Structure 1
Amino acid sequence: MYYDHQHDPWESPIETTGRPVESGNVSAGGQPGKKKKGGAKIAALCLVCALVGGIVGSAGVAAATGVLGGGSTTIYEATRQPTVVNVSNITGQEQLTAPEIYAAYVGSTVGITTEIVTTNVWGQPVSAAAAGSGFVITEDGYILTNYHVIEGASSIQVSFIDGTTYDATLVGGEEENDIAVLKIDATGLTPVLIGDSDNVRVGESVVAIGNPLGELTFSMTQGIISARDRSITMENGNVMNMLQTDVAINSGNSGGPLFDMYGQVIGITSAKLSSSSSSEATIEGLGFAIPINDIKDMVTDIMENGYVTGKPYMGITVSTVPQSISERYGMSQGALVESVDESSCAATAGLQEGDIITGIDGTTIVSSAELVEAKKNYSAGDTVTLQVERDGQALSLQLTFDEDTPERRAAQEKALEEQQQQQDQQQQQDQNDPDFFWPFGELSPWFY
């Protein structure tokens, strides 16, 4: 927004407050007229002094700042000392300026470019590029980013501000918490300082460095923490705990660092709200970052083991029973079991295809997303009681969680892909049947 500074038309000229002396009146000294004449001389003298002072003052300004142009039109040119940026002794204990944070850690921020190969409707491979951000967390080349930045990538490349690029390998990722750890073959890097997101307060200033749009590389934006502990539903339906900020976050910023003013990373920039079903107004200043405390232990786990250990695994795929279908067919709302891994704890507990999970340890479940959230409260080895509806009958089943491993996850992904293909084929065969109705929608993207 531009402001045009103009003279205020309501501003009055300076006025005197003395009472005027009328012609013929006697002055305080008893002499008519002379007082007035002397006053005129004094006023004229003051006016001359003011004009001379103005000329000298203008000349002084011109001499101090430099004057461009001549005649009655003058352009004044100013000078200033450049901002002092001292990054020689950053400890994370003293507050820094935004330029100091940028100078210290722009070299720790990376741009991430991925190649994703998919198959089109004719069965031909198609490649596409995606871009995001990340940041160095160890001197020997471990980099943290968002899972959605590298999801499905066949190749990953990271680039630094000095133009250096590296091919990166995926060490491991955690989809539910949207984090991934990459590794490049490099040493002597400058890692960021990991902070404590529990210490941040609403209203504190923060800055982000990243690659908005994948083109405006290594940009810094600044704002404040707008709220803490926001439960945000992501595009895939996953619910995450977030820091809310008005720092500008755009496509390509995902995976970049969010710094407090001590130069410590307190979050991973991940999402922004750009539209709302409840309002047609343009939405601005609603960005979200994953609190660093929520994922510290997971990152260490991934670096050491390649995945997050101790996560619970059920061995089923599910979809949500919508309320409309529940009412139409007299079914309970919940998570409909679409398939069961016969080698999993779900099969051992007696879960079957077609069961509807309506609760876990007394917590009501009305959707697959709620099953995801409830499962986060448990670890591998924990035993729970599932409330299940089967053919209209209520059952209680005891289940002891397995551990979610990459091997189990890969097998489950393959099973889900095959099941989705079977569903698509069945729907294609029955699409001309006017009485055909598939009540349960798409399969959930999560594995349980």
Structure 2
Amino acid sequence: MSKASDSTGDRSQEPLRFEPEPAENSQPWVEKLDDGYPKPEPLVGDSDEAHVERSVSGIGRRAILGLLALSLIFGAAGGAGATVLLLGGLNGSGDIGTQIRQTLVSEQSATVSVAEQISPAIVTIEVTTTSGESVGSGVIYSADGWIITNRHVVDGATAMTIHLEDGRDFPGRVYGIDTLTDLAIVKVDATGLTAATLGRSSAIQVGQTAIAIGSPLGVYTNSVTAGIISAIGREITTESGRLDGLLQTDAAINPGNSGGALVDSSGAVIGINTAISTEGAGIGFAIPIDIARPIMEQALAGIELSRPWIGIRYVALNRRTAAENNLTLFQGAWISGGAESGVVPGSPAEAAGLADGDIVTKVQGVLIDDLHPLQDLLVQYSPGTVIVLDVLRAGATVQISVTLGIRPNQ
């Protein structure tokens, strides 16, 4: 498991309230007694008025109290009936309390169902290197023995054993290492394996359920923890370098969970667990499955893993970074290399005419923002593809075509 650290007036007065004034006599047909209870206006002659007032005073309170009691009885009965209906009825099989308890455990039952569904597709990876042994996790995504894991789990491996949940062991080999982020593809010679269902991380929302599964500490295999998606689009720096566009979760992730799955409430994989924060508890990170998908498909096709590349060093703009650099635009990728040029010599960006100070605002018409960072938009295309970038230069927007290259090893 990589350890990481995040890189990233006055109150208004109370609004005036305007309320209509009550009419002087909004109920002209009702009088008020001294005790505050209403009584109908008498419909009798003057000679019977005293008798009517005595009758109302004598029975008014008893009648009203009786009506209130009946209202409470019918209200309670109606509430109980509504509860039974909402819970699907008693059906003669139990009381209301039992059905409420069944409702409360439905979410836990969903987590149990997800754990049962995904566990057979999670593997423990035991790695031997020249410096010792380590353990991580992986996710089977094809029944033919294709597994995705973290680069830092298998980097430098001289031997590897893949342990399945059912107790079977297979020797494994590294098929390819991702040049963009902390991912790798591992292959075992086996068929008929249980493969995980892959989801779509582009539809993830903050606050939705997130379930992590892996082998924490290399000992507690197929451990399941649950939480939520705490944030999306996180950028962190790890021992392996900078990672962008990550999912943040409070589902417990520990060393040994690296390469394991982060799944949603349907059991679909939405991320690959990769790092934890050393500065706080309940702060874990996963690489979105949409970032991993292209290299997973390349492996299935039997081609070498590769990532698209344009060759720029840039700052991802937001309101803070824009203000710090006196820029009027707070979305996009600002080409700026600091002490060195923001455009890599010999890169596709140089060939296309991109320059320091340019701000790339769109890729193929899609706006670059916090939810759609430049790198996430680029990974959808294969090397060799020609894409069109919208670029803000000297206050004017120009469109520049770039032929994507192959990202070099970092």
Please classify the TM superposition score into its range, dividing by the shorter chain length: 0.5 to 0.7
Q: Which amino acid aligns with 2:339?
A: G
Contact 2:270 2:289 in 1 (8 A): yes
Shift of the alpha carbon at 1:131? 1.3
In structure 2, how many angstroms separate the alpha carbons of the residues matched to 1:292 and 1:193? 11
Contact 2:387 2:404 in 1 (8 A): no
> Do structure 1's residue 191 and structure 2's residue 195 form an aligned pair?
yes
Q: What are the Cα deviations for residues 247-300 of structure 1, in whole angstroms up to 9, with x where unaligned?
A: 01111101101111111111111111122xxxxxxx111111111122222320
> Do structure 1's residue 240 and structure 2's residue 237 form an aligned pair?
no
Q: Which amino acid aligns with 1:221?
A: T
Equivalent residue in structure 1 for 2:256, among 240, 252, 259: 252
In structure 1, how many angstroms separate the alpha carbons of the residues matched to 2:156 and 2:218? 18
Shift of the alpha carbon at 1:178? 1.7
Q: What are the Cα deviations for residues 214-251 of structure 1, in whole angstroms up to 9, with x where unaligned?
A: 12222111111111222233333323111111001111
Shift of the alpha carbon at 1:360? 7.1
Equivalent residue in structure 2 for 1:335, among 329, 336, 340: 340
Q: Given the superposition, is the C-alpha separation of residues 209 and 376 from structure 1 closer, same or farther in structure 2, using an over 3 Å criterion?
A: closer
The equivalent of 1:139 in structure 2 is: 143
Equivalent residue in structure 1 for 2:289, among 281, 288, 292: 292
In structure 2, how many angstroms separate the alpha carbons of the residues matched to 1:311 and 1:229? 20
The equivalent of 1:107 in structure 2 is: 120
The equivalent of 1:311 in structure 2 is: 308
Q: Given the superposition, is the C-alpha separation of residues 313 and 211 from structure 1 closer, same or farther in structure 2, using an over 3 Å criterion?
A: same
Q: Given the superposition, is the C-alpha separation of residues 402 and 244 from structure 1 closer, same or farther in structure 2, using an over 3 Å criterion?
A: closer
Q: What are the Cα deviations for residues 417-445 of structure 1, in whole angstroms up to 9, with x where unaligned?
A: xxxxxxxxxxxxxxxxxxxxxxxxxxxxx
Contact 1:361 1:384 in 2 (8 A): no
Shift of the alpha carbon at 1:192? 0.9
Shift of the alpha carbon at 1:359? 2.3
Written as runs of structure 1 = structure 2, the 5 A alignment for 1:28-107 is 97-107=110-120
Q: Given the superposition, is the C-alpha separation of residues 313 and 227 from structure 1 closer, same or farther in structure 2, using an over 3 Å criterion?
A: closer
Q: Which amino acid aligns with 1:147?
A: R
> Do structure 1's residue 217 and structure 2's residue 221 form an aligned pair?
yes
In structure 2, how many angstroms separate the alpha carbons of the residues matched to 1:383 and 1:99? 45
Contact 1:147 1:178 in 2 (8 A): yes
The equivalent of 1:352 in structure 2 is: none
In structure 1, how many angstroms separate the alpha carbons of the residues matched to 2:387 and 2:357? 10
Contact 2:160 2:171 in 1 (8 A): yes
In structure 1, how many angstroms separate the alpha carbons of the residues matched to 2:278 and 2:231? 17
The equivalent of 2:129 in structure 1 is: 116
In structure 2, how many angstroms separate the alpha carbons of the residues matched to 1:226 and 1:376? 19
Q: Does the residue aligned with 2:281 lie in a helix, a strand or coil? A: coil
Shift of the alpha carbon at 1:208? 1.2
Contact 2:341 2:356 in 1 (8 A): no
Shift of the alpha carbon at 1:151? 1.3
Equivalent residue in structure 2 for 1:205, among 204, 209, 219: 209
The equivalent of 1:404 in structure 2 is: 406
Equivalent residue in structure 2 for 1:229, among 233, 242, 246: 233
Q: Which amino acid aligns with 2:226?
A: Q
Shift of the alpha carbon at 1:402? 7.1
Equivalent residue in structure 2 for 1:129, among 122, 126, 133: 133
Q: Which amino acid aligns with 1:265?
A: V
Contact 1:226 1:244 in 2 (8 A): yes
Contact 1:334 1:358 in 2 (8 A): no
Shift of the alpha carbon at 1:305? 4.1
Q: Given the superposition, is the C-alpha separation of residues 156 and 399 from structure 1 closer, same or farther in structure 2, using an over 3 Å criterion?
A: farther
> Do structure 1's residue 267 and structure 2's residue 271 form an aligned pair?
yes
Q: What are the Cα deviations for residues 342-396 of structure 1, in whole angstroms up to 9, with x where unaligned?
A: xx668x96xxxxxxx9827556xxxxxxxxx9788765466999xxxxxxxxxxx
Shift of the alpha carbon at 1:333? 2.9
Contact 1:312 1:380 in 2 (8 A): no
TM-score, structure 2 length as denominator?
0.54
In structure 1, how many angstroms separate the alpha carbons of the residues matched to 2:203 and 2:387? 34
Equivalent residue in structure 1 for 2:299, among 276, 294, 302: 302
Backbone CA RMSD of aligned residues: 3.9
Contact 1:345 1:399 in 2 (8 A): no
In structure 2, how many angstroms separate the alpha carbons of the residues matched to 1:129 and 1:139? 27
Shift of the alpha carbon at 1:335? 3.3
Q: Given the superposition, is the C-alpha separation of residues 198 and 345 from structure 1 closer, same or farther in structure 2, using an over 3 Å criterion?
A: closer
Could you list the runs of 5+ residues in structure 1 that have no partner in the other structure?
1-83, 85-93, 118-126, 276-282, 318-331, 350-356, 364-372, 386-397, 414-445
Q: What are the Cα deviations for residues 173-231 of structure 1, in whole angstroms up to 9, with x where unaligned?
A: 21322221111111111111111223332222221110111122221111111112222
Could you list the runs of 5+ residues in structure 2 that have no partner in the other structure?
1-101, 314-336, 361-372, 390-399
Shift of the alpha carbon at 1:309? 4.2
Q: Which amino acid aligns with 1:116?
A: T
Q: Given the superposition, is the C-alpha separation of residues 269 and 129 from structure 1 closer, same or farther in structure 2, using an over 3 Å criterion?
A: same
Contact 1:149 1:254 in 2 (8 A): yes
Q: What are the Cα deviations for residues 120-155 of structure 1, in whole angstroms up to 9, with x where unaligned?
A: xxxxxxx31121100111111111111121112122
In structure 1, how many angstroms separate the alpha carbons of the residues matched to 2:260 and 2:150? 8
Equivalent residue in structure 2 for 1:168, among 155, 165, 172: 172
